[in-house]
Chains A and B, each alone.
Chain A
Amino acid sequence: MKVKVISRNPDEYMRETKRDLHKVPRNYDPTLHPFEAAREYVRALNATKLDRVFAKPFLASLDGHRDGVSCFGKHPERLSTLCSGAYDGEIRVWDLPMRSCVRNFVAHEGFVRGITYTPCGERFITVGDDKTVKIWKAETPEVGDEEEPVNTLLSRTVLLGVSHHRTEPIFATCGEVCNIWDETRNEPLNVLKWGVDSLHAIAFNMVETSILAACASDRSVIFYDKRETKPLRKMVLTMKSNKLAWNPMEAFNFTVANEDFNLYTFDTRQLKNPVKIHYDHVSAVTDVDYSPTGKEFVSASYDKTIRIYEIHKSHSRDIYHTKRMQHVVCVGWSYDNKYIYSGSDEMNIRLWKARASEKLGATRPRERANFNYQEALKEKYAAHPEIKRIARHRQVPKKIYNTHKKMRAIKDKEKKKEANVRKHSKKGKFKFVAEKKKVVLKEDV
């Protein structure tokens, strides 16, 4: 007779000393883990709830400017540095971890219209209402030394924006015309013009580096190539675009912040209609900036909020607002994909987390694994009504809530009317036009 019964040696299952880790033998047999789906669902629900509980995105407010903040310059190499310009011509350089201003000086008479760092991060270029382009050293001058620009370039025309080439020492300014400058020369290399009053925003493509695009006041968006002598093409939208940002990962995609409360993501290969319309703002959108991953972007609006969108989604992922924040003029996404800065009319710069409930600071591996697990669960059960409701819920200012409701009512009404007209008229006379097809009025080559 041969018998064996289960007989476990406790030494194999218990830790030897108090300093050891507990031994946890695993058996992944599904029959030992009943109610798998239900338990996962409950975990997903808890994770979603915790996500909302920990959603505290506001980090700091940087005060010091004596007028509204007009533009940002992000340092290409140092995450801790941020440069900001104001309506009174003052420029401030901030140390973000210390939340303090390390340097401030008046650079221009009138507005500072644009700031951009050179790719090496040693200098930055500012343009202002006084028709000058000034190049400054990024290093703070010695105590007692005066703030002097390294170089001052005089422009014949008004300047409204600036953007630097990704690698070469070349930058572009916009205003009445689009100028391409070399950092070392006093005259523009190239002057590009397409018969419009003014261009108020300009941006170099980060991947296809010689391409740049500008927003014009005649509602158009114009594309240039710095190697060509003439502009490439132009498209006219229904309303004016305020800002433009290229996707840093996908060379052909860009997003414009429009005056008609929407943002439009376009594919340059197909300019007839936008790839996606991003709704949700209830006032003109003033600025847009991409995350370095190219998967999300942040937008600032005149409705005193900033919103974060995923590039393939029509509606925002998140909305940030505070009681004291006024019309947001400029916004930026930090190069480490973790923070967002916003500058607003009431002279403050605000620092936010890019993901509202993310834990800042170092995370231990087990913590990290748990966060990943929760993230996966949330995604898996995202479609369940209870989870969806909690994940989507945001407390917004009453004014925005009401305006949103009003806008929706107006839109519904228009849609209904259009449908009625179509129904009661001769077949084919009023065709259904998709919302996307209504955006671009004209395309010129």
Chain B
Amino acid sequence: MRKPEIDKKLLKKHLRGEHADEKGVKTKFFKEKLKRKEVYLEYAAEQAARAEILKNEEEGFIEADQDESTADYTQKEIVQNVDITAATKHFNLSLDFGPYRLRYTKNGRHLLLGGRRGHIAAFDWVTKRIHCEMNVMEEVADVSWLHLETMFACAQKNWVYFYDNQGTEIHCIKRMSRVNRMEFLPYHFLLATASSEGFLSWLDVSIGEIVAQYNSKAGDIRIMCQNPYNAVLCTGGSKGVVSMWSPTVREPLAKVLVHSTPMTAIAVDPKGMHLATGGLDRSLKVWDIRKLSGPLAVYKCGMAVNEIDISQKGVLAFSTGNICEMYKQTVMESENPSPYLRERVNDYVYGLRFCPYEDVLGVSTGKGFTSLLVPGSGEPNFDGLEANPFQTKKQRREHEVHALLEKIPMDLISLEPNEIRGVDVETLQDKVNAKKSILFVKPPRIDFKSRRKMKGKGGSANAAKNKQIVKDAKRKEFIKDAKKARDKVFEQHKEKSTTEDFIPLESSNATVLDRFKVKKKNK
């Protein structure tokens, strides 16, 4: 029986790249081996593509009636048209200790709210079961879940505190002081913080050690996000420059001038493809992270953008003042696109985050929290081994152990996360450097000790003379060798000249400046 055909698009989604080229492989044996491997890889991709049929949830959507646009619909209308369980996902919390920051867990089940005036609340937002709620009686700058919903970090006025889901203080890290923004890198178990003194620190929460801490020399960092694709931190600032940081390198891995005015917001999409930035110039720009030469799209907004987020399915949400706007795609075709949805919330927006695996956008404002329904924003089919919203206690424990065993060392954080799989090939720059080093070598120091002679067989003057002779000889030898090596390099790079009396009509590298060259005299 023949198997049904698979959609080419699906197959491409699961393939990890082009076929390996067997051209450079020397022996038949390894060629055959490579071919066999390719067959296996293709089979794996095919199996994964076939497994798509087992997905049982479908993406959300919203369809407007005739002569209407989706942007006209309010939350109220949407809620009236969805089922009861989905309707409960839209709710408002009016809280008194704002402005608030918010954070969802990796599986999108739990929500953490932190108010500037000390209010912290952690709860399961689906069932509305509260884990803990307290006031730390101190300013709270940012909050972040750690790898599980059992622990979270809170950047307070001076230091970073850790609490468990009962609200008990577990730890306080005083080396992380005056932190403005925090990001948790779940696969590396690193809590990255940016302080108002411009210090970036990475704390390994599995061993409780600060693995890297340095001054970014960018001053007060108020805008930061992580790139989920490669765990690199992106910081923005008043200069309109986005810099990307890894714990192992003290200089930014990449820098890009995104706005000519100070920046107000930054976000990276979950696939790590797009970077969205907002500036005081009232524009929002979307960049391709792998090619930062120019923005893919520029949108003009009425006011400066204060928060941005991009969902799993690429829905772009941003807020200007107290208005949240959602766009269906991160990069739109038209310059002046009409929004997918638009919603006015009760106060100025201070936090905007899509909930993973749900069609929900969490908005935290100066006066509380609002959960908005955004159909088609979340990934409908989760992977039970990666992030499971329905995970039981036992599964959670199992997951924690596996995650800890698979903790990626922080040295592997770089712009290209799959670098470890590549072959370490000498780059052209390395080759050039190697050759350059031949051209500019210094003669080595020669430590020569003259042999001790019998008494009266030559004094110190003689010894010094001998020493000089040996040194000279060694140096001469060295210079000779170096010259030989140099000549060899030049020989390799010499242009192939034709015979003298033949003047080519067109030289391969003729320039306009050739006219100033000394002409050869005819004999």
Contact = CB atoms under 8 A, between A and B. Distances in A.
Contacts of B68: 1
B392 A22 contact: yes
Nearest to B48: A28
A27 B382 contact: yes
Given A30-B16, A41-B420, A5 B383 contact: no
Contacts of A28: 14, 48, 51-52, 383
A324 to B, nearest CB: 37
Interface string B389-421: 110101100000000011111001000011111
B271 interface: yes
A3 B78 contact: yes
A26 B63 contact: no
A37 B417 contact: yes
A37 B418 CA distance: 5
Contact of B417 (A7, A23, A35): A35
Contacts of A37: 417-421
Contact of A26 (B51, B229, B359, B379): B51
A23 B384 contact: yes
B85 interface: yes
Interface stretch (A8-16, A232-240, A329-337, A406-414): A8-16
A98 interface: no
A428 interface: no
Contacts, number: 137
A1 B83 contact: no
A8 B58 CA distance: 10
B500 interface: no
Contact of A6 (B57, B187, B229): B57
A1 B64 contact: yes
A207 to B, nearest CB: 22
A4 B408 contact: no
B385 A6 contact: no
B279 interface: no
Contact of A4 (B60, B73, B382): B60
A29 B12 CA distance: 11
Contacts of A27: 55, 379, 381-383
A6 B408 contact: no
Interface in B32-90: 48, 51-52, 54-65, 68, 73, 77-78, 81-83, 85-86, 89
B385 A34 contact: no
Contacts of B378: 6
A155 to B, nearest CB: 47
A11 B396 CA distance: 19
Contacts of A43: 406
A6 B420 contact: no
Contacts of A12: 56
Nearest to B50: A28
Nearest to A25: B384
Interface string A232-270: 000000000000000000000000000000000000000
Nearest to B227: A34
B418 A39 contact: no
Given A27-B383, A30-B13, A5 B187 contact: no
A36 interface: yes
Nearest to B16: A30
A35 B81 contact: no
Contacts of B388: 24
Nearest to A9: B85
Interface string A37-69: 111011100100000000000000000000000
A26 B50 CA distance: 12
Nearest to A380: B421
B57 A42 contact: no
Nearest to A376: B40
Contacts of A143: none
Given A30-B16, A38-B408, A38-B412, A1 B63 contact: yes
B375 interface: yes
A360 interface: no
A30 B14 contact: yes
Contacts of B54: 25-26
B228 A25 contact: no
Given A1-B81, A6-B378, A7-B83, A39 B406 contact: yes
8 contacts: A2-B81, A3-B78, A3-B375, A6-B59, A6-B357, A26-B51, A26-B384, A42-B406
Given A5-B373, A22-B395, 6 more contacts: A27-B382, A28-B14, A29-B13, A32-B382, A34-B228, A38-B418
Interface of A: 1-8, 10, 12-14, 22-39, 41-43, 46, 384
Considering the complex of A and B, which 9 residue pairs feature the smallest CB-CB distances, nearest first?
A24-B384, A28-B48, A2-B63, A5-B359, A37-B418, A7-B86, A37-B421, A13-B390, A5-B60
Interface of B: 13-14, 16, 48, 51-52, 54-65, 68, 73, 77-78, 81-83, 85-86, 89, 187, 228-229, 231, 270-272, 357-359, 373, 375, 378-390, 392, 394-395, 405-409, 412, 417-421
